[in-house]
Amino acid sequence: MTALIHDLPSAWHVDQACMSEDERVVVIRFGDPKHKDTWAQDEMLYKIADKIRNFAVIYTCDNTVIQDFNQMYELYDVCTVMFFWRNKHMMCDFGTGNNNKLNFYINDKQDLIDIVEVIYRGAKKGRGLVVSPKDYSTHYKVCADAIIGAPKESH
C-alpha cells in the first residue's frame, strides 16, 4: 500500500484535515507549487509518506491561491511545512529561532522522518513544543538547486 499526498483545495479542507485526525500528525506543506524549492520539498515528503503513514498524514496547500492562513501562520516563505495534532498547531525547535514551522529544505529522508516522529511522540505526551533531533542552525536554507540538479551560476 502506498501512502499518497493529497492537495487541499480550500481553507475548509485545510481545517477539516486538521480536525479529522485523532491519532496521526497532520503535516501540511504550504507553498507555491510552481517554485523549485516547493517541488524539492514535495519530492522529499512523497519519499517518506509511506514510511510515516502509521503516525502521520501529509497534505499540500497552494497558499498563493488559498491565502486564508498566510497572515495567521506568517507564511511568507516559498515553502513552509507545518505540523498539527488534533487540530492544534505543533511547534518544533529546529535551532533556527523559528519554532512555528519548517521553512527550509530538509534534504535527508531520515532526518525528515525523525522530525515527524519526534513531533508525534511529543504530541502523544501532550507537549505543544518539541526539540528537533538535529540542530539546523548551521544548515538553514539549503538550496534546492543542488538537489534537483539545476545548473550552477558562475561568478
Q: Which pLDDT score, from 0 to 100, does residue 137 have? A: 84
Report the predicted TM-score, pTM, of the whole model to 2 decimal places. Answer: 0.86
In the numeric block, the cell 496521526 is attached to 24
Number of domains in the chain: 1
Three-state DSSP class for residue 28: strand
**Closest of 76, 94, 86 to residue 135, by C-alpha:** 94
Query: Cα separation of 94 and 43, whole Å?
Result: 21
CA angle 8, 13, 15 (to 5 degrees): 120
Q: What is the mean pLDDT of each run of 10 residues along the chain (155 residues)?
A: 82 96 97 94 96 97 95 94 97 90 93 97 96 82 46 46
In this predicted model, what pLDDT tens digit does every residue of 39-61 receive, in sequence order? 999 999 999 999 999 999 999 99
Domain assignment of residue 49, given as a range:
6-148
Say if 45 falls within a structural domain.
Answer: yes
CATH number of the domain residue 133 falls in: 3.40.30.10
**1 lies in a domain?**
no
Q: How far is Cα 7 from Cα 10, in angstroms, rounded to an integer?
A: 9
153 within some domain:
no
